[in-house]
Amino acid sequence: MSETAQSNAVPRRVQVDLSGQVAIVTGASQGIGRAIAETLAANGASVALVARSESKLADVAAAIRSAGGTAEPFPCDVSKAEDVTAVVETIHAKFGRIDVLVNNAGVTRDTLLPRMSDEEWDEVLTTNLRGPFLFMRAASRPMMQQRYGRIVNVASVSGLIGNPGQANYSASKAGLVGLTRTVAKELAGRKITVNAVAPGFIASDMTAALGPALLDEVKKRVPAKRLGEAWEIAEAVLFLVAPSSGYITAQVLTVDGGLIG
């Protein structure tokens, strides 16, 4: 195959049989979360879509259904314990089981530390760290009863190496890595794995807002010389939630084009 033909070819995707499984994906209304939800549905899972925007979730659910998959929207504020408990109980009652949980919901409020407000710190930590804690606590209960589960937390390379202007975000993602590894050890005996995926710079509305000049500088920093794609993060998640990945737990899979080595 010529180099041109290779560059235009559709990438070969990971295929996993998730038939009969039920997956919860938070932050599923757009970007990486939507890509993860679509990928899990394409591999046979019934996907519970969680985010704040009911209208955006409805669009994602419609797209998944039109492609032959199964998905239902469940609007929820991931930072509120009572809302999380209620939505997980509703999902479990509707589908009868919960096999996969992907904690992807997250926010950024970037600014240098001396200028960072209490509200900017609290909002990021509450959504990015408290949210996954609440969902893991709620979803782990039915998983323990059925003695099976796969949990994947979407962290970030910022939580591994830090990033100027993101003290709140980096702290939340570093905390998520610690939470992942601890809960993995607590749940391993019940055949529940808990892992994290740490994306680097991924093409999104957020990175597009940086502008062409800054994006060029970002790409120069990445050994792969490009931004990652949302589907590449989704494929990493799919690998970790596969039934065959039962001996992989407490790990952080970095998907960053070689950025942090």
AA identity, residue 2: S
* CB distance 52 to 75 below 8 Å: yes
Instruction: Give residue 177's domain range.
Output: 16-254
AA identity, residue 88: V
Question: Is 1 a domain residue?
Answer: no
Q: How confident is the model at residue 32 (pLDDT cuts 50, 70, 90)?
A: very high
CATH number, domain at 235? 3.40.50.720
Rounded-to-integer distance, Cα 83 and Cα 93, Å: 15
Query: Which pLDDT score, from 0 to 100, does residue 206 have?
Result: 73
Q: Is 169 a catalytic residue?
A: yes
> Which stretches does DSSP call E strand in 138-199?
149-154, 192-199
Instruction: Look at residue 80 and give its three-state secondary structure.
Output: coil
Question: Is 59 a domain residue?
Answer: yes
Rounded-to-integer distance, Cα 212 and Cα 215, Å: 5
Question: Is 259 a domain residue?
Answer: no
Tens digit of each residue's pLDDT (9 = 90 or more) over 155-181: 999 999 999 999 999 999 999 999 999
Question: Where do we find the tokens 């970002």?
Answer: 218
- Closest C-alpha among 195, 231, 232, 181 to residue 100: 195
Tens digit of each residue's pLDDT (9 = 90 or more) over 186-205: 999 999 999 999 999 999 87
Question: Is 6 a domain residue?
Answer: no
Question: Is 154 a domain residue?
Answer: yes
Question: Is 75 a domain residue?
Answer: yes
Contacts of 60 (CB under 8 A, 6+ apart): 28, 29, 34, 37, 38, 49, 71, 73
Q: Of 74, 135, 169, 201, which one is the catalytic site residue?
A: 169
Q: Is the pLDDT of residue 54 over 70?
A: yes
Instruction: Look at residue 211 and give its three-state secondary structure.
Output: coil
- pTM metric for this prediction: 0.94
Q: How many domains does the chain have?
A: 1
- Percent of the chain at pLDDT exceeding 90: 89
* CB distance 175 to 196 below 8 Å: no
Question: Is 93 a domain residue?
Answer: yes
